[in-house]
A = this chain, B = another copy of it.
Amino acid sequence: MNSYTYDEIVIGQTEQFCVTVTEDMQDAFRKITGDLNPLHGDAAFAKRNGHGGPVVFGMLTMSFLSTLAGMYLPGKNSLIQGVSGKLRKPVYIGDTLTVEGVVSDKSDAVHVIGIKYSITNQDGVKVAKGEMQIGVENYE
């Protein structure tokens, strides 16, 4: 886990990691949220409607932004204040996602950093992109 302080972070700084979405993750996310939508769990329904298999919950894909902020950028001193994003293409179970964030902005008065992120699958398709605002705290 990184633990950058506000002063150590520079505009343009980039962090990334990879994660493979498993059926266990999909099941655990369904259990947390109670979202029983068949697009995400019923393979026949998903295939009938133009997908290769159950579609990964969009908000599960977005969940890896927690990891990006809390483990990488800034890591330990993170407090997410805002998130926005577009889900552009479907993600399927077994896809390996590269989650990348670039520091685009620093607000010195409030110690908030802006990050532009992208989430890309193993075929180089950008499945999501957007921005986050993250407070960089002085945790003791």
* Cβ-based interface call for A35 (8 A): yes
Instruction: Return the contact of A33 from the options B63, B76, B78 (Cβ within 8 A).
Output: B63
Contact yes or no, A83 B71, CB < 8 A: no
**How many interface residues does A have (CB within 8 Å)?**
46
Q: Copy number of this protein in the oligomer?
A: 2
Instruction: Return the contact of A29 from the options B32, B35, B140 (Cβ within 8 A).
Output: B32
Q: List 30 A-B residue pairs with CB atoms under 8 Å apart, sorted by A's residue number.
A: A28-B31, A28-B32, A32-B63, A33-B66, A34-B67, A35-B66, A36-B70, A36-B71, A37-B70, A37-B78, A38-B76, A39-B139, A45-B139, A48-B139, A49-B137, A49-B139, A49-B140, A57-B70, A58-B66, A58-B79, A58-B83, A59-B62, A59-B83, A62-B83, A81-B86, A82-B84, A83-B83, A84-B84, A84-B85, A84-B130
